[in-house]
Chain A
Amino acid sequence: MVVWNVVNVTINKENLSPTIMVENKKYWKGIEELNDSELVKSLQHNEFPTEVSTEEFLGNADKLEESSTTRRDFLKYMGFSTAAATLAACESPISETIPYVIAPEEIIPGIANYYATSYYDGHDYASILVKTREGRPIKIENNKMAAINGGANTRIHGSVLNLYDATRLQNPMIKGAKASWADVDATVKKAVSSAGSKKVVVLTSTVISPTAQKLINEFGATAQNFKHVSCDAFSYSGKLDATAAAKGKRALPTYDFKKADVIVSVGADFLGDWSGQRVNGDYSTRRVPGKDMSRHIQFETIMTNTGAAADKRYKLKPSEVGSVLVALYNEITGSSLAGANKTLSSEIKVAAKELKAAGKNGLVVSGGNDADVEAITIAINDALQNDGTTLSYAKSSNLRQGNDNDMNQLIADMNAGSVGVLLIDNLNVAYTHSGNAKLASGIAKVETSVYFTESLDETAAMCNVLCAKNNYLESWGDAMPAVGEFSIMQPTISPLFNTRQMEECLLNWTGNSKSYYTYLTDNWKSTILQGGDWKKALHDGVISAAPISVPQGVSTEDTGEEENFAAVVDLSASANRIAKHKGGEFELEFYQKTGMGVGNLANNPWLLEFPDPITRTGWDNYLTMSASDALALGIENWHVSNGALNSHKATIVVNGASLEVPVFVQPGQAKGSVGLAVGYGRNSAGKASTGVGVNAFSLMNGSHSADVKITPNTDVHEYACIQLAHTMMGRKIVNETVLGTFLNEPPSNEFGTGWNQKIEFETHKGPLASNEVNLWDDFDHQTGLMWNMSIDMNLCNGCGACVISCQSENNVPVVGKEEMRKSRDMHWIRIDRYYSSDMTDEKADEEGISGIDKFAAMEHPSESPDVFFQPVMCQHCNHAPCETVCPVAATTHSSEGLNHMAYNRCIGTRYCANNCPYKVRRFNWFQYYDGTEKQFDVNYAMNEDLGRMVLNPDVTVRSRGVMEKCSMCIQRIQLGKLEAKKAGHPIKDGDVTTACQSACDSGAITFGNINDAKSAVFQLKKDKRMYHLLEEVGTQPSVFYQTKVRNRA
């Protein structure tokens, strides 16, 4: 025990030794100073040790002198050995090539294998093809054979990256500690058998797998008191209840947009996130301008991709959805239900008239999750008698089955302590139901809570047994997305970690010794296949077969709930309830961003960085608000000096819950309404997603909209918004016209006012087209192949699947929010979004506005704008401005009409990017793949060993200081050509597809050899809608666009 003495001394400035004390305190240099004052004293006098002479140090001086090794020699030896070591180190490293010991029959190194499988995460479903290289899944492609959801959405295209997320849960855990599967099995089995009269509950999102459902039912039979609750992250329970009441089956119909002549959508973002059915492809087949083009009228709150695609778009508040539908119903049927909308009556009249004319080829769809609204929608569709044409209740969809009543009952039961065992799968309930305060307390009261999970997410924090789950690419499974439509999920890689899929666990816990694969094939053979070939079904991934019935939501107290639905629907009661519902001053609509959905793939940097199609903003969610509301509330959006977007924030309060959110001024947002995307604000999904956005689920409770109070503040939020100019300023960037003009007028006329006016220059040789006015000699593009791409802006609905597909095909790096703010995003294909402005050249002429005033006004998007999407990638100009300025010829022209980019030749002057009129060149400002640059550690697809598995081995990973850009997927072109050469046939359509093209289930992108008169792109080039982007600059691009035509007068 050391006793610290305090000694009084006076200050002696001349003797500032270490022992000097200031006032009453003594400062010790160390404990030794206190304990061994002798040593300290000696050190005070002689701080440095005695000098030792060199001779003494070297020992025997005589001997040293006798030595044959002199100091000089010593230095020589040292120099030599250093040089030798350096030289020896110069030897190039030995690289090994390690073949398989036993090569799998189907794998030839260097050749990709494709497997058909299905994606399902409880929310999104698609039948897909998985491209694997040497056993690694690296890319998702659409499965064109699928009758339903053969087109993967943006998120599913990105889902392959989540497989290689190192933050995945790698082992099962019990009460926070790593456990073995045997422990888990024992724990759960014991818990189930000892649950007694307490309930055993399986809580899932919608189960679309008939085999998994069968297994869940079997598992239920082992418990005394069992209940299966399904609950969707983004609830459609109200709609389902209404359909059950009207149609006797609790299932949403499937829609056939191919047959829809007139589509009226009231609040339904069916091209974005809606019923789970992907309808983009069907919708687009009817959007080709011509007599057959469909007519689409959209009423909506927030600006969606669907609204952007519509021919007519009207704004409404979420609370008005019901009243518009009532008005529509009244108009169509001639009834007079209460609560019909008055503010939009003329628009509704027009819509009703067109719907009536279309009859069974008309279709009305509605948004929200309100049973009354859905009841009216069903009634309108019934009035149109479109069951069997544009929608089908018989071939119903299984993609949304969640039941909020069951969920609420479960939460009540848990809180009452009557649930003994809770198993959760495919639903991060603690996150999606974070608005429900009782949930957490409920789960805490459950003795054994088992969670099948891929990550240590919000729900994992609440449950005591964590079953580390396989990724879908490691799992067997099946799906029945709609009645009579089946698909198979097959593993494309062995589990990377010590994980097990839910079905394997259930088999074990029900005492079944079969593997899930055997169980699955047995079930298929006995039910679905009906004598069909399993191998063929597995190869195709999908099969249409006779419907099978699998009881859902099974409960031991179940009394055949399916028949309980009342077939009587009281429409007037529904209408009365709708009439009574009045929204508040501000209404909040919850929506899903294209890139994130409900946040199931949250820790995916591709998807986080993906710029939202409408707001062009990544790495965020935000409150969308109309410009006039923002002005009234004093909220501003502004650009800072480097072009990045900033805004004020606001605090929003919904039912007592509050959240501070950035406010984004959104053209097309209904006045008095705001929108907020769910899926963000994840704090435990992994390092990429941590701290990105706010959790809108914490405000949500079943309904898709709510009244909200907004209190703006002056806090500043920084966005990663990559589009600075939102209007076209009167230029022909996206050429547009309306159907009548397109059908009846020539594209060009002598007044220069045609809807697709040919650009001509006056020269001494007379008027010449831009491609005829040249300083340079033309390349020979008649010999051999000549690649061209057509992009149809009538078919593109901006979904962005192409962006992510390109990213995974071409190893495009993720740069993170800070870099994105500096417009240093690396996407090779971007989808520009333009709004129309209230100010046009014609209007300016009429009103006598000119010069800077006109252009200033033109910069402002309209509050009810038309929206245009324009995918822009390298245009592969045949007179490329980039090629002429490159000092090292790193970018050169090919005989096939492509603009090549040799990375190793590039010295990074960036002249090319500056000279590119399309701004499609991307510069590697940093070593994005370098894991040691902390700034880019979100880019795990490139800078972690596991993440790198997703990289396409056919495409170089670019280094710092080089320029890159779209190569037209030259690796695919080369492969396509090679395959054609091997087979000995000329290149034909389909031999080469680009990544963007193959991802586009709308068919907006066509690619092919223009020198082949049989190719689709050859026909499209001759189309009268065809034009080149910035044709007047004379770059002669290989990419051309098709004029946007809206079906309106």
Chain B
Amino acid sequence: MRKRLIDQISRLSFTIIIALTSLLATAQGVEGDVEHGKSLYNANCAACHKLDKKLIGPALGDITEKRETDWLISWIRDNQALRNSGDADAIAVFEEYNGSLMTAFPQLSDQDIMDILAYTAYVPEDKVVVAETPEGPVASEPSNTTTIIVLGAILLFLVIILARVKNVLKQIKGLETNTIIEEANVVTRTALKNPRIVTFITILVAIVLFQQIFVALMAIGVTQDYQPAQPIAFSHKLHAGDNKIDCNYCHYGARKSMVSNVPSANVCMNCHMNIQEGPTTGTEEIAKIYDAIGFNPEIMEYIEGYEQKPIKWVRIHDLPDLSYFSHAQHVTAGGLACQTCHGPVEEMEEVYQYSPLTMEWCVTCHRETEVKVESNEYYAEMHKSLKEKYGADTKITVEMIGGLECGKCHY
């Protein structure tokens, strides 16, 4: 609950800040929607421009102070036309950046460009880092402990009522009454003298103890919720959640191979060659990719002869070697979503192991999951005979096509 509250507060504060900044931006003289401008900027400009420093093109942080808005609009719309018209400034800029061509953006309306400019001009008063609290797994059912406490309370309540009732009865009979505590003492003393009760309690305690030990032992090697610190504070929430990058873009092996590969640094570089600064950790974490692969962000070049340092990620999901799990089987053939086993990765700031990855867990799913026999020609013949065997309306589970046989996973 607390987490949710904090989350709500932080979201609220974010909205307020955005609202405030819009106001501020208006106050600075460039009229435009900063939010809209930001998204347009990220989509169209960020590949070549940064706000605070030169990338392929000039830094745009203070561009509204340097140039006239009209000039900027015509430059952004079609810089070549502007140069062709003989605009001296335009030609000078072009030459300053060694004649590298800037894309024309005829699709942007004046308001769009104004929004972008508003975004570039916007300076937050203090750098407000909006902390997004990661949401851990939320227990959907009341835990055992709660149940026990509730039951215990009810029991206690009943005992008290009974004691009261007894006292009332005694009073009616005119006998001496005891307080609850005295009564409890008497009961305890009598109980402890009774060997049957003692034996019963001992056995009960032993059983509970054994059960607990058994559960504890069974949990050995089960690393559910394992959430190790990674060498790079990579946020799946940011990449997969906010930016909606498809899982398969980085983990391209999942569709084709048994292994869902951890992406190599060159995959990171596809975007991070240009995106050199992140919203939460700035340049610090991204610099680790550059350090691994040997990239100089200042001049946007790979370093010749660099001794590359592989990134040593900490493995979270680690099935024992004795079981053979194929991602392609589940993702491509089975059509499962990644989240089925890996949980809401797109909401995880730091990834943790969502599923227990125990055999029981595998088997349960294989018992319940329906095979999509209709959509795959592979099952055509099999489906016919399965229908004969189980009836046309029965759902064909993985178990029915042999998904519980030892050799399907252990060889």
Within 8 A of A (CB), among B234-255: 252-253
Closest to A111 in B: B257
Report the bound CA distance from A977 to B408 in whole Å: 11
The stretch from A90-98, A511-519, A639-647 touching chain B is A90-98
Within 8 A of B (CB), among A781-816: 782-785
Q: Is A102 within 8 A of B405, CB to CB? A: no
In the complex with contacts A784-B385, A982-B333, A94-B310 CB distance below 8 A: no
Q: Hey, which chain A residues are within 8 Å of B264, CB to CB? A: 99-103
Q: Hey, which chain B residues are within 8 Å of A102, CB to CB? A: 264-266, 293, 308
Q: Is A981 within 8 A of B378, CB to CB? A: yes
A956 interfacial contact with B, CB 8 Å: yes
B36 interfacial contact with A, CB 8 Å: no
Within 8 A of A (CB), among B355-383: 376-382
Q: Is A987 within 8 A of B410, CB to CB? A: no
Q: Mark A100-111, 1 if CB is under 8 A from B, else 0.
A: 111100001111
Q: Hey, which chain A residues are within 8 Å of B408, CB to CB? A: 894, 974
Report the bound CA distance from A898 to B253 in whole Å: 29
A330 interfacial contact with B, CB 8 Å: no
Closest to B408 in A: A974
Closest to B329 in A: A978
Q: Is B377 within 8 A of A97, CB to CB? A: no
A139 interfacial contact with B, CB 8 Å: no
In the complex with contacts A99-B263, A102-B293, A982-B332, A892-B406 CB distance below 8 A: yes
Q: Is A902 within 8 A of B407, CB to CB? A: yes
Q: Hey, which chain B residues are within 8 Å of A904, CB to CB? A: 322, 410
A970 interfacial contact with B, CB 8 Å: yes
Q: Hey, which chain B residues are within 8 Å of A98, CB to CB? A: 262, 310-313
Q: Hey, which chain A residues are within 8 Å of B411, CB to CB? A: 900-901, 954-956, 967, 970-971, 974
Closest to B386 in A: A783
A745 interfacial contact with B, CB 8 Å: no
Q: Is A901 within 8 A of B261, CB to CB? A: no
Q: How far is the CB of A720 from chain B (nearest CB, A)?
A: 29
Q: Which of the residues B261, B262, B324, B407 comes within 8 Å of A900, measured between beta carbons?
A: B407
Q: Hey, which chain A residues are within 8 Å of B252, CB to CB? A: 108
Q: Is A99 within 8 A of B311, CB to CB? A: yes
Q: Hey, which chain A residues are within 8 Å of B410, CB to CB? A: 900, 902-905, 956
**How many Cβ-Cβ contacts under 8 Å join chain A to chain B?**
156
Q: Is A101 within 8 A of B309, CB to CB? A: yes
In the complex with contacts A109-B253, A956-B322, A99-B261 CB distance below 8 A: yes
A49 interfacial contact with B, CB 8 Å: no
In the complex with contacts A783-B386, A967-B411, A101-B402 CB distance below 8 A: no
Closest to A894 in B: B405
Q: How far is the CB of A289 from chain B (nearest CB, A)?
A: 32
Q: Hey, which chain B residues are within 8 Å of A97, CB to CB? A: 262, 313-315
Q: Hey, which chain B residues are within 8 Å of A110, CB to CB? A: 253, 257-259, 261
Q: Which of the residues A99, A784, A785, A978 comes within 8 Å of B262, measured between beta carbons?
A: A99
Interface centre among A890, A955, A956, A987 (most CB of B within 10 A): A956
Q: How far is the CB of B170 from chain A (nearest CB, A)?
A: 51
B141 interfacial contact with A, CB 8 Å: no
A290 interfacial contact with B, CB 8 Å: no
Q: Mark B285-313, 1 if CB is under 8 A from A, else 0.
A: 00000001100000000000000111111
Q: Hey, which chain B residues are within 8 Å of A971, CB to CB? A: 324, 411
Q: Hey, which chain A residues are within 8 Å of B261, CB to CB? A: 99, 103, 108-110
Q: Hey, which chain B residues are within 8 Å of A780, CB to CB? A: 389
Report the bound CA distance from A895 to B402 in whole Å: 6
Report the bound CA distance from A999 to B351 in whole Å: 45
Q: Hey, which chain B residues are within 8 Å of A444, CB to CB? A: none
Report the bound CA distance from A97 to B221 in whole Å: 18
Q: Hey, which chain A residues are within 8 Å of B389, CB to CB? A: 780, 783
Q: Mark B386-401, 1 if CB is under 8 A from A, else 0.
A: 1001000000000001
Report the bound CA distance from A1035 to B351 in whole Å: 51
Q: How far is the CB of A907 from chain B (nearest CB, A)?
A: 15
Q: Which of the residues A92, A111, A898 comes within 8 Å of B256, measured between beta carbons?
A: A111
Report the bound CA distance from A971 to B379 in whole Å: 20
Closest to B309 in A: A101
Q: Is B259 within 8 A of A985, CB to CB? A: no
Q: Is B377 within 8 A of A985, CB to CB? A: yes
Q: Hey, which chain B residues are within 8 Å of A982, CB to CB? A: 256, 328, 332-333
Q: Which of the residues B221, B223, B313, B318 comes within 8 Å of A99, measured between beta carbons?
A: B313
In the complex with contacts A110-B258, A985-B377, A901-B253 CB distance below 8 A: no
Q: Mark A250-261, 1 if CB is under 8 A from B, else 0.
A: 000000000000
B267 interfacial contact with A, CB 8 Å: yes
Within 8 A of A (CB), among B39-68: none
Report the bound CA distance from A987 to B411 in whole Å: 21
Q: Is A782 within 8 A of B385, CB to CB? A: yes
Q: Mark A960-988, 1 if CB is under 8 A from B, else 0.
A: 00000001001100100110111011110
Q: Is A978 within 8 A of B328, CB to CB? A: yes
Q: Mark A379-401, 1 if CB is under 8 A from B, else 0.
A: 00000000000000000000000
Report the bound CA distance from A987 to B263 in whole Å: 32
Q: How far is the CB of A131 from chain B (nearest CB, A)?
A: 15
Q: Is B376 within 8 A of A896, CB to CB? A: no
In the complex with contacts A99-B264, A108-B252, A986-B378 CB distance below 8 A: yes
B134 interfacial contact with A, CB 8 Å: no
Q: Hey, which chain B residues are within 8 Å of A956, CB to CB? A: 321-322, 410-411
Report the bound CA distance from A982 to B254 in whole Å: 12
Q: Mark A47-60, 1 if CB is under 8 A from B, else 0.
A: 00000000000000
Q: How far is the CB of A76 from chain B (nearest CB, A)?
A: 25
Q: Which of the residues B266, B312, B378, B402 comes within 8 Å of A96, measured between beta carbons?
A: B312
Q: Is B407 within 8 A of A898, CB to CB? A: yes
Closest to A980 in B: B378
A527 interfacial contact with B, CB 8 Å: no
Q: How far is the CB of A998 from chain B (nearest CB, A)?
A: 18
Q: How far is the CB of B69 from chain A (nearest CB, A)?
A: 44
Q: Is B405 within 8 A of A101, CB to CB? A: no
Q: Hey, which chain B residues are within 8 Å of A1012, CB to CB? A: 381
Q: Hey, which chain A residues are within 8 Å of B137, CB to CB? A: none
Q: Is A101 within 8 A of B256, CB to CB? A: no
In the complex with contacts A101-B266, A900-B406, A986-B377, A96-B313 CB distance below 8 A: yes
Report the bound CA distance from A782 to B324 in whole Å: 27
Q: Hey, which chain B residues are within 8 Å of A977, CB to CB? A: 378
A864 interfacial contact with B, CB 8 Å: no
In the complex with contacts A111-B256, A782-B385, A101-B310 CB distance below 8 A: yes
Report the bound CA distance from A562 to B14 in whole Å: 91
B10 interfacial contact with A, CB 8 Å: no
Report the bound CA distance from A890 to B315 in whole Å: 30
Report the bound CA distance from A677 to B333 in whole Å: 53
Q: Is A984 within 8 A of B378, CB to CB? A: yes
Closest to B382 in A: A784
Q: How far is the CB of B147 from chain A (nearest CB, A)?
A: 30
A1011 interfacial contact with B, CB 8 Å: yes
Q: Hey, which chain A residues are within 8 Å of B223, CB to CB? A: 92
Q: Is B322 within 8 A of A903, CB to CB? A: yes
Q: Is A783 within 8 A of B382, CB to CB? A: yes
B74 interfacial contact with A, CB 8 Å: no
Report the bound CA distance from A97 to B258 in whole Å: 15
What are 20 A-B contacts defined by CB distance under 8 Å? A96-B315, A101-B265, A102-B264, A102-B293, A103-B261, A103-B264, A108-B253, A109-B259, A111-B253, A785-B382, A894-B406, A895-B405, A896-B402, A900-B407, A900-B411, A905-B410, A954-B324, A956-B411, A982-B328, A986-B378
Known: A97-B314, A108-B253, A978-B328. 11 other contacts (CB 8 A): A94-B314, A98-B310, A101-B311, A108-B261, A109-B261, A890-B406, A894-B407, A905-B406, A974-B326, A980-B378, A987-B378
Residues of A within 8 A of B (CB): 92, 94-103, 108-111, 780, 782-785, 890, 892, 894-896, 898, 900-905, 954-956, 967, 970-971, 974, 977-978, 980-982, 984-987, 1011-1012
Which 9 A-B pairs rank lowest in CB-CB distance, beginning with the nearest? Answer: A900-B407, A110-B257, A110-B259, A103-B264, A981-B333, A100-B264, A902-B406, A895-B402, A97-B315
